[in-house]
């Protein structure tokens, strides 16, 4: 049985986890900058409303907890070839969580 690439990557990330340094303090300003430069336009187009932030606040969000958020950031980075470093993924995750999700 063949899995689509996106499911394969999601499964891989879920199985092996996203190893983020617990000792590094996320750089929220860097996370915001990356979100604005690499995420917003794609999300605006995908939402159909021209507002990239709406994807984070929609009622049918796939992101239900912090681990889901980390996984989705990693998935976008891999699938869209954003060329983010692991610390950039941490920064984006922290910014999105603080700005929109507010998971503990």
Domain locations in the chain as residue ranges: 27-101
d(CA 54, CA 27): 23
What's 65's DSSP letter?
A: S
d(CA 4, CA 1): 10
Chain centroid offset of residue 1 CA: 28
- pLDDT tens series, the chain, 104 aa: 555 666 656 665 555 555 544 557 999 999 999 999 999 999 998 878 789 999 998 888 889 999 999 999 999 999 999 999 999 999 999 999 999 999 99
This prediction's pTM? 0.76
What size, in residues, is the chain? 104
């Amino acid at each position: 049985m063949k899995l689509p690439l996106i499911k394969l990557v999601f499964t891989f990330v879920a199985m092996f986890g996203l190893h983020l340094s617990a000792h590094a303090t996320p750089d929220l300003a860097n996370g915001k900058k990356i979100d604005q430069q690499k995420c917003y336009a794609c999300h605006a187009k995908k939402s159909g409303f021209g507002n990239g932030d709406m994807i984070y606040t929609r009622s049918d969000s796939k992101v239900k907890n912090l681990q889901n958020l980390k996984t989705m950031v990693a998935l976008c980075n891999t699938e869209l070839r954003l060329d983010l470093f692991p610390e950039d993924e941490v920064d984006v995750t922290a910014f999105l969580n603080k700005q929109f999700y507010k998971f503990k």
